[in-house]
Amino acid sequence: MSTPFSDFLRQDQRLVMLRILSEVPQYRANSSVIASLLGEFGHHPSRDQVKTELVWLGDQGLVKVEDIGSVLVVTLIERGADVAAGRSSVPGVSKPRP
């Protein structure tokens, strides 16, 4: 059976978040900036959805998440960088395409 479209989008959004973090200075950004940048890649989730997915990425050991009130500050860690580059895979995150 194929993956439902909503799951496909969620998995791709997670990969895009990791790739965004892999390209920003110090591999660190806040949830508001990530939400804005997701729009550049054709994704338009709510800010609450972005926070939910960032927490999920943190639970998977791909990013470090700091809650500073109105935003989350997220830092890419080694395992997340490996997933973003396609050197490793995690169920629930799309694999990069060549």
Q: What residues contact residue 83 under an 8 Å CB cut-off, 6+ apart? A: 15, 18, 62, 89, 90, 93
| pLDDT of the residue at 75 | 98
67 CB neighbour count, 10 Å cutoff: 11
Q: pLDDT tens-digit profile of 45-90? A: 999 999 999 999 999 999 999 999 899 999 999 999 999 999 999 9
* Domains of the chain, residue spans: 5-85
Rg (CA), the chain: 12
91 CB neighbour count, 10 Å cutoff: 6
Q: CA 2, CA 83: separation in Å to the nearest integer?
A: 22
CATH topology of domain 5-85: Arc Repressor Mutant, subunit A (1.10.10)
